[in-house]
Structure 1
């Protein structure tokens, strides 16, 4: 820190302008957990994992210690259990994180906040206030927030909203291979569930139709029942349809990112460029005062290339049409930034290359 008196007002102004938290908006299998873990490793951070996860509805103090990565998760080792930071919000002999509601667990894509949002906002505000009261910066890692990103930006303008973007082929392949290897259908089922529970929204219906998605032919009595039906459907889902569903959800989430985030994290570049990793660190430093180390990022694009022979049950060559349709959908939305459209076009070109070898 400079000791030049002339610089002190500017430094004070910069300090007051720093964002007072990080909302990390990610998708399933986007490498968001690893990015979050790099922020969580900082002494000044309280890292809340998946604050919308339905696991939190039944979590108990006794469960916390066991909430660690498993072979079937594909996640990196963590220094502390996933849900360690929720201990102050749990009561001995009871289940459920204070303020959490199970309906938070389904992402929504309506243009205006739903009836649950005031409770959701109060829940997140309570987590933020607890961390801030301890002199810590709250960092949230979401997988169920992208549809609600505009709502959250308006509700929490004091936080930095960062979005994680990974090309759709690599992201889908990560979940598809986990299903093949460990019979874990969650990541294949998730797009069907989110799309199905939001299909009355015109924008979602348009994405479903333009990507040619066939949803599970069920009418469920509840969100939970529909989730179960989607997992059953995913176990025998035709591979091409599963990928189309994934791309439909991916482009909807990308569209929400296009509304404007404070920082875009390109996972594909992160593992390929030390310069980009250093620049990302500087971006966090400038906006939040946090300085996470991303130098250990893996080249996930190359890993997708190496796993191509294991991607069975999908005609990769036919996926070019899906990528093209999704990009066309994005371009048709008014007000979308040209530079962002170009970024998504690059992701689709990369996805064309990666899926070419899938059979």
Structure 2
């Protein structure tokens, strides 16, 4: 069994149960579980503010009670403010960094957090919603054990939407606009989906303000398509780096699967978090008027991802998560098999569906998402 001092990375998108998984790692003895270590707010934290925000007062429906999210960072506080070696540009500026690229500043920051844990005899855990695009870079620099969390994309986006306090995009939606507009080679895609071009100039705060100014009244379908484009590109880049892929929807409803995931984590890094209390949130009741299949098909066509989703080298989890998700929100007058076919037909085109053999799909669906590569 690997040494429990192995660095562990938990990668996910926003609203993808990463806080729950981090919370369960945090409950283990001998770990230092850093929460959102790429969040731009870390540039402003102090000994006082470090303990101010808790799951109970955040309004984000997170587990964890009154324990401050950021208490683990107390070992890295800079007397001048913020964290040692942290720069707010780390948050999204280098989200899409290539595995072989150099970023000595970001590397020094993470090395400091790893060292702070190890000098105390603790296992460093990094759980963050801003690492899918840089998972390969992290593996090359830090090795470790990499867990990828994947959620039903429609419910994930609806979780963003449900947090709107008025008809304006949430922070999570704005971040996806920024990530889409700054995706390498994605200028035409960004313009096609958003109707605007953004130059990526300025601080993250300024770039968030720029997309907010242009897209604050954009239809919900624009937000969903931007999210789906980033979701697809992020996971296609991250999944090859995974030691373990976890379907968080299944984790919440299948106790046998939860035990398999616990065992796989223990085999991979020597730690065994307890997921027995994992529960699935109820489906979001407020669903905006988005034509899901049409919106998704446009994104897949624009990104030319048919083969990446259903081809022989496609990550099985993408096929599984996309197909049932769209079937579940698309009315159909017939049984579940036809519903699935209709959803896939809308998602990737009828011809592509006919090329996906039924036996191959059945074999794919039978695979356990929690199995190690």
Same fold (TM over 0.5): yes
Q: What is the CA RMSD across the aligned residues, in angstroms?
A: 2.7
Q: Which residue in 2 is equivalent to 1:143?
A: 129
Deviation at 1:185, TM superposition (A): 1.4
Residue of structure 2 equivalent to 1:103 = 89
1:125 corresponds in structure 2 to 111
- Residue in 2 that maps onto 1:191: 176
2:299 maps to 1:314? no
Deviation at 1:146, TM superposition (A): 1.0
Following superposition, the deviation at residue 78 of structure 1 comes to 3.9
2:217 matches 1:230: no
What is the correspondence of 1:171-320 to structure 2 with a 5 Å cutoff?
A: 171-180=156-165, 185-196=170-181, 198-199=182-183, 201-202=184-185, 204-205=186-187, 208=190, 212-214=192-194, 216-219=196-199, 221-223=201-203, 224-300=205-281, 303-304=282-283, 307-308=284-285, 310-320=286-296
**Pairs aligned (count):** 328
Match of 1:67 in 2: 53
Q: Describe the superposition over 1:78-109 as per-residue Cα deviations: whole angstroms up to 9, x where unpaired.
A: 452111011121145x3110010111111432
Change (3 A) 1:316 1:182: same
2-side partners of 1:87 and 1:233: how far apart? 38
1:162 corresponds to which residue? Answer: 147
Contact 1:100 1:120 in 2 (8 A): yes
Distance 2:198 2:51 in 1: 37
The CA deviation at 1:320 is 4.6
For normalisation by structure 2, the TM-score amounts to 0.80
Deviation at 1:349, TM superposition (A): 1.1
8 A Cα contact 2:307 2:314, kept in partner: no
Q: Structure 1: where are the runs of 5+ without partners?
A: 1-13
If the length of structure 1 is used for normalisation, what is the TM-score?
0.82
**Partner of residue 343, structure 1:** 317
Residue in structure 2 matched with residue 80 of structure 1 by the alignment: 67
Report the CA distance between 1:178 and its aligned residue.
Answer: 0.5
Which segment drifts farther, 101-110 or 178-187?
178-187
What 5-or-longer segments of structure 2 have no aligned partner? 332-373
Inter-partner Cα distance in structure 2 for 1:77 and 1:183: 28
Indicate how the Cα distance of structure 1 residues 279 and 19 shifts in structure 2: closer, same or farther if over 3 A, else same: farther
SS in 1 for 2:33: strand
Out of 276-285 and 310-319, give the one that drifted further.
310-319
